[in-house]
Amino acid sequence: MNSNLAGKFPNLRLRRLRGTPAMRSLVRETRLSAEQLVLPLFVRSGKRLRRPIPSMPGVFQLSLDELIKEASSAAAAGIPAVLIFGIPEHKDEKASGAYARNGIVQQAVRSLKREHPELMVITDVCLCEYMSHGHCGIVRKTARGVSILNDPTLKLLARSAVSHAEAGADMVAPSDMMDGRVHAIRGMLDEGGFESVPIMSYAAKFASGFYGPFRDAAESAPKFGDRRSYQMDAGNALEALREVALDIAEGADIVMVKPALAYLDLIYRVKTEFGYPTAAYAVSGEYSMIKAAAQNGWIDERAVMLESHLAMKRAGADIIITYAAREIAGWLKET
């Protein structure tokens, strides 16, 4: 409090409400809860496989059997949803694995829904894991360099989304950042009889250094160039709002801001301007930074994880997608 004011009004004491845990709990404005967390999981073929991702301690590439175990423990912790990423056996220039009827994600969705019908299964819809070059769209080499084709990519994305829905996905989440993909996906889902499958669009997704560890996990780093011609420039907030407006107009049911911690202003603005269900993705690099600092003894992992996720909630996020979902759920139970 401003000290002049404190002098004028000696009865104004904000500290009165901070005295005890019970008092603080009564007046706490924002709370984290396991019920709003989504746990991302990486699946690949094989049996009894739990391949650690060195840059993401506690995160693994899982075979189907292990994926089920991981999903069970998430459900037991009170987490309502998982977000599935696939690592295919073969990559090509048309991302065939992304929309194969028996692709790794499609298999994962089927077995998850069989074993845990109550657990919500969300699928990431993108092509980068399935493309030999690692880009999120179809690549054409031209005299002036390489370009990522927009419209031809839409069909492949929509086919992927439909194949996920056919396998039983409860919601699809396009993360490619091509223009018009929400419209294309909505159209093909509706045609296929999946009118009731919602779309959570990665609406404001920035070209970010924070995705580094994910690309190890999903083996999806681009072999050449970068993603700046389709993901957003970190300096742009108004453009992010245009992205969100467009995705909503095209039929997105939930809009996402990604990454989270470095873009809290956008979580706030997206929530206040559109009032739509808003998701924040606490991405791989955010997780790895906290893990690494904690492993060095430099910060208190539990305190920093809880505080940073609470900040996303305070900024306006309804849903938080986070690799720390299970740990957070556990800590929340203890407190």
Catalytic residues: 205, 258
Q: Which is nearer to ligand PBG, 227 or 313 (CB)?
A: 227
| SS3 of the chain: helix, strand, coil, percent, to 5 | 45, 20, 35
Question: What would the two tokens of residue 42 be?
Answer: 């990486």
Per CB under 6 A, contacts with ligand PBG among 162-181 are 175
All residues at 6 or more sequence positions from 50 whose CB lies less than 8 Å from its CB, including other chains:
60, 61, 62, 63, 66
**Interacting stretch for ligand PBG, rule CB under 6 A, among 164-172, 208-216, 243-251, 271-279?**
208-216
Specify the 3-state DSSP secondary structure of 239: helix
Q: Using CB under 6 A, pick the residue from 126, 131, 184, 197 that binds ligand PBG.
A: 126
Question: What would the two tokens of residue 35 be?
Answer: 């019920």
The 69-108 contact track toward ligand PBG, x by CB under 6 A, reads ----------------------------------------
**One-letter amino acid of 225:** G
| 136 forms part of the interface with ligand PBG (CB under 6 A) | yes
| 66 forms part of the interface with ligand PBG (CB under 6 A) | no
Q: Which is nearer to ligand PBG, 115 or 222 (CB)?
A: 222
The 280-309 contact track toward ligand PBG, x by CB under 6 A, reads ---xx-------------------------
Q: Using CB under 6 A, pick the residue from 66, 70, 124, 170 that binds ligand PBG.
A: 124
Task: Indicate the residue whose CB is closest to ligand PBG.
Answer: 214
Closest CA to 148 of 118, 193, 179: 179
DSSP string, 245-277: HHHHHHT-SEEEEESSGGGHHHHHHHHHHH---
| 204 forms part of the interface with ligand PBG (CB under 6 A) | no
Question: What would the two tokens of residue 240 be?
Answer: 């992010």
